[in-house]
Amino acid sequence: MSRQSQPNIHIKVSPTTKFKTTTIVFKFMAPLEYDTITARSLLSKLLVRATKKWPTDKSFNNHLADLYGAYVNSTISKFKD
């Protein structure tokens, strides 16, 4: 099932009963530009580590452990050439 909630925001839901785990994926696309590539890479890492409520890695990881083994991950990849 796919739908568009806002301009440039597309939601795709793939329901399945094969797995017990729920996975949520956010994908952001932007042109690959020399001036912004480093900042985007750093921002990707900050989005999964720096929060106002859990300011340290330890406090954030403790909170994730309380959520039955939840985890957060961030990756950067190039799409096409």
Q: What is the pLDDT of residues 17-34, one digit of tens each?
A: 898 888 888 887 788 888
User: Which tens digits make up the pLDDT trace of 53-75?
Assistant: 988 889 988 998 998 888 888 88
Determine phi and psi for 12, rounding to 5 degrees: -125, 125
Host domain of residue 64? 25-81
In this prediction, residues 37-55 reach a mean pLDDT of: 87
Position 5 pLDDT exceeds 70:
no
Going from the C-alpha of 8 to that of each of 28, 44, 53, 69, the distances in angstroms are: 10, 19, 29, 32
66 domain-assigned? yes
78 domain-assigned? yes
**Alpha carbons within 13 A on the beta-carbon side of 31:** 3
62 domain-assigned? yes
39 pLDDT band, cuts 50/70/90, is very high
81 domain-assigned? yes
For CA atoms 9, 78, 69, 22, the dihedral sign is positive
Q: How many distinct structural domains can be found in the chain?
A: 1
